[in-house]
Chains A and B, each alone.
Chain A
Amino acid sequence: MITLENVSKSYTNDGTPALNNVSLHINKGEFVFIVGDSGSGKSTMIKLLLRELVPSSGRIIVNGVDLSKLRRGKIPKYRRNIGCVFQDFRLLKDRNVYENVAFAQRVIQTPTKKIKKNVPQMLSLVGLPEKYKSKTKELSGGEQQRVALARALVNNPPILLADEPTGNLDPRNSWEIMKLLEEINRRGTTVLVVTHNREIVNAMRKRVITVKKGVIVSDEEKGEYIDD
């Protein structure tokens, strides 16, 4: 489903590469943690997968699409296969919960009838069916992240990227979000979670890829968070 072949990414011509000759393969339906310190190259990896950046060398293949050969005009369609959630939620503060989730469908021209059917379903999945009218600023951090998850999933993408999804949440809400991600994975979505949360990584016993200074230093099934 996701393959990186000898991928390197440098932001400057002479500087240290953010990613250095990274190769990995993630199968369809997997749940993978990507862990590492700040500046280790995790965010660069996410940006490469989203085709916000192009690798300096190497190949990235997602869902059979070679990203180095992807034309600019095809990028939007490609991104519809990837749902994303972030540490800072990135919700639209001037709109309510329903509108935030519907937004993801509106911008890809989904018919209104379908939107009216899909959005309540997604809000039920993330446990917020009764909050559809609430403004996002009235919600707790955990609830905001659930809305972000509903928005990421409403277009039914086969892959979900979560960049520090629990970074702004207390332990209880962090666990709830992780359980939700596990449930989403159980339903068939491939889930990649970039995190610093040692407790969660160690408790969930999933595949853990550890990145350090742009290099994969460990890749273990049912792995643990490795300290420096």
Chain B
Amino acid sequence: MISTLGYVFKQGFKNIFRNKIFSLATVATISACIFLFGLFYSMVENVRYSIQKAETNVAVTVFFNEGVTEAQIMQIGDAIRARSEVSSVEFVSASDAWESFKVDYLGEYADGYEGDNPLEGSENLEIYLKDVSKQSELVTYLESVEGVREINHSDVTANILTQFNRLLSYVSLGIVGILLAVSVFLISNTVAMGIAVRHEEIGIMKLIGATDFVVRSPFLIEGILLGLIGAAIPLVAVYYIYINIIEYAAQHFVILNDLLQFKSTREIFSVLIPVALILGVGLGFVGSFITIRKRLRV
């Protein structure tokens, strides 16, 4: 059995070199597809990452009726914090609110308000969400809480971010789907060419008494190897491109640093490497399997 497996692998490997031009064309196309997939994945992941970062800055602010004590507000805050969609809850006292207002809007003109707090009674809770799409759910809950006077929130921001996120996912799924279909078609074609080129050899194998496994497996191995090579090459390319883009953006677009949040190379490639390799192997397997089933009835 071991010698058979050795033979099958050796033949699969040799097939690639016997059929150099088609193999090269296939590897080039799979590489192009996986390269685009890699770029696209990196882009989508970073945009999503930036959105997530932006989402954490979208807060719901809750103000309370007169007479609600700080201790009661803290209690309400604890109940809100326990909700699954909530990331964090911060208590902002009236004096904190006034200090912040002075810094942001009054500057040196704040001196006239010495000893006075015009924002008295504006104690509030700032609530940050894990997922902005859950904002309306949270607002409904907050409206039912006793003592709540007003809830400030931005539905527009939440909706735009959620919709953009969704759109990006659909577009990426669509493009990746098309690329995968093209790759399967190309591998399938290359293996079909290989079968046509080696039509005579296959005929001889059948006459000699080779089993289905021995006849078919080298073509399956060929497809898988082509997929693997086609996936490995663009990974290296995407890696270097990604490193350089991060460096370039950090040096030349400092102004965008708050807006654009790049994931680290490690974070991106710890997912991209296994996914791309599995994708390559999967494409090779599916592409060759379809052709073998169709054209290699032993």
| Total number of B residues with any Cβ neighbor in A under 8 Å | 20
Please tell me if the beta carbons of A111 and B201 are within 8 angstroms of each other in the complex.
no
User: B18 at the A/B interface (Cβ < 8 Å)?
Assistant: yes
Chain A residues with Cβ below 8 Å from B3 are 109, 111-112
- Complex interface: chain B residues within 8 A of A108 (CB): 208-210, 214
| B204 on the A face (CB < 8 A) | yes
Measured between beta carbons, the chain A residues less than 8 angstroms from B203 are: 90
Indicate if A48 sits at the interface (CB-CB under 8 A). Answer: no
Task: Say yes or no for B7: interface residue by CB 8 A criterion.
Answer: yes
Asked whether B204 lies within 8 Å of A109 as measured between CB atoms, the reply is no
Interface membership of B270, Cβ < 8 A: no
> Count of A residues near B, CB < 8 Å?
21
* Beta-carbon contact of B204 and A80 below 8 Å: no
Binds B, one of A1-9, A71-79, A208-216: A71-79
CB neighbours (8 Å) of A84 from chain B are: 207
Q: A52 to nearest B CB, angstroms?
A: 8
- Find out whether the CB atom of B201 lies under 8 angstroms from the CB atom of A92: yes
- Check B208–A104 contact: CB distance below 8 A: yes
CB closest chain-A residue, reference B18: A94
Q: What CA separation (Å) do A47 and B7 show in the bound complex?
A: 28
- Majority DSSP secondary structure for residues of B touching A: helix
Given contacts A92-B201, A109-B214, A112-B3, contact A78 B207 (CB under 8 A): no
Contact of A50 with B7 at beta-carbon distance under 8 Å, contacts A92-B201, A109-B214 already known: no
Contacts of B18 in A (CB 8 A): 94
User: Are B210 and A107 within 8 A (Cβ)?
Assistant: yes
Task: Determine if A189 is an interface residue (Cβ-Cβ < 8 Å).
Answer: no
Residues 95-107 of chain A: 1 if any B CB is under 8 Å from the residue's CB, otherwise 0? 0000000011011
List A contacts of B204 (CB < 8 A): 90, 92, 103
Query: How far apart sit A79 and B206, CA to CA, in the bound complex (Å)?
Result: 8
Task: Tell me the chain B residues, 106-127 only, with Cβ under 8 Å from chain A.
Answer: none
| B161 within 8 Å of A (CB atoms) | no
**Distance (Å) between the CB of B170 and the closest chain A CB?**
46
Q: Give the total number of A-B pairs whose CB atoms are below 8 A apart.
A: 49
Q: How far is the CB of B4 from chain A (nearest CB, A)?
A: 4
CB distance from B6 to the nearest CB of A (A): 9
Question: What residues of chain A lie closer than 8 Å to B206, measured between beta carbons?
Answer: 76, 79
Q: Could you tell me the distance in whole angstroms from the C-beta of A77 to the nearest C-beta in chain B? A: 7
Residues 49-85 of A, flagged 1 when their CB comes within 8 A of B and 0 if not, give: 0100000000000000000000001001111100010
Nearest residue (CB) in B for A88 is: B200
CB pair A80–B7 under 8 Å, yes or no, is no
Q: Of A84, A92, A106, which is in contact with the most chain B CB atoms at under 10 Å from its CB?
A: A106
Taking a contact as CB atoms under 8 Å apart, the answer to whether B4 and A80 are in contact is no
A79, B205: Cβ atoms closer than 8 Å: no
Which of A73, A78, A94, A151 is B209 in contact with, Cβ under 8 Å?
A: A78
| B138 smallest CB distance to A (angstroms) | 63
A155 CB–B CB distance under 8 Å = yes
> Quick check: B201 and A106 within 8 Å, CB to CB?
no
Within 8 A of B (CB), among A107-146: 107-109, 111-112
Is the C-beta of B211 less than 8 angstroms from some C-beta in chain A? yes
Q: Sample 20 A-B pairs with CB under 8 A, ordered by A number.
A: A50-B207, A76-B206, A76-B209, A76-B210, A76-B211, A76-B298, A80-B209, A90-B203, A92-B201, A94-B18, A103-B208, A106-B7, A107-B205, A107-B214, A108-B208, A109-B4, A109-B7, A151-B208, A155-B208, A155-B209
Q: Closest 6 A-B residue pairs measured CB to CB?
A: A80-B209, A107-B210, A79-B209, A109-B4, A76-B209, A76-B211
A107-B209, A107-B210, A109-B214 known, 15 other contacts, Cβ within 8 Å = A50-B207, A76-B206, A76-B210, A76-B211, A76-B212, A80-B208, A90-B200, A90-B203, A92-B201, A92-B204, A103-B208, A107-B208, A107-B214, A108-B209, A111-B3
Q: Write the residues of chain B forming the contact surface with A, with a CB cutoff of 8 angstroms.
A: 1, 3-4, 7, 18, 200-201, 203-212, 214-215, 298
Q: Which residues of A contact B (CB under 8 A)?
A: 50, 73, 76-80, 84, 90, 92, 94, 103-104, 106-109, 111-112, 151, 155
